[in-house]
Amino acid sequence: MSEGNAQAGVLYIAEKGSIAMMRVQGSGVRNLAEGFDKWIDYLADSTTVGCIIVDLADCTYMDSTFMGMLVKLARTMMKRCKLLIANAKPLHHELLDGIGVMKGWEYVEQPVSCESWSELCDAISGKLNERLVVEVHQQLIDWDERNKKFIPFVNLALAELNVKKNDGEAEEDDD
């Protein structure tokens, strides 16, 4: 699970009765954040979901943005849903426990299957929403004291966003 050039994996989602499920195939990386965020919005609006399962059996890697999305999902849904991480490998445990992501989640070791898995198409578009990346890293910092190590990243990313914003405003002024 080294970061290197981890290619984006695929998120598969399904819903069966009151259970919403997501299976991560390959790398859970920041390019999946936008689609993951849309799924969180869908779940937040749902009145029928009572349990959310994230299956990591086929997850080969996860970065801090992906783990920040798990925190965002927990913050959004933990008061009204049971949140389960299924089939986590020892390295998943090390990563998730190491930065406090598991608050609100429980581990389960069981197969997660659904005949109606559908690919979360927006998640594999490769679009990168930089503001969302900053938001989920800020949530990691707020979620657990051990995540203060992300403060320099957030500050740098915010500075870059401000430069882009100012460059955009300057281009508009040129017109």
Domains and CATH numbers, the chain: 10-127 (3.30.750.24)
28 - beta bridge partners? 62
- Ranges of beta strands (E only) in the chain are 10-16, 19-28, 51-55, 59-62, 82-86, 106-108, 118-119
Cα angle vertex 92, ends 49, 100, to 5°?
Answer: 75
The yes-or-no verdict on residue 3 having pLDDT over 60 is no
With 0.75 as the threshold, say if the pTM is over it.
Answer: no
Q: Comparing 17-31, 40-54, 62-76, 120-134, which segment has the lowest mean pLDDT?
A: 120-134
**pLDDT tens per residue, range 66-125:** 999 999 999 999 999 999 898 999 999 998 898 888 888 988 877 666 555 544 333 333
Collapsed DSSP state (helix, strand, coil) of residue 42: helix
pLDDT-derived band at 19 (thresholds 50, 70, 90) equals confident
The yes-or-no verdict on residue 6 having pLDDT over 70 is no
The count of residues in the chain is 175
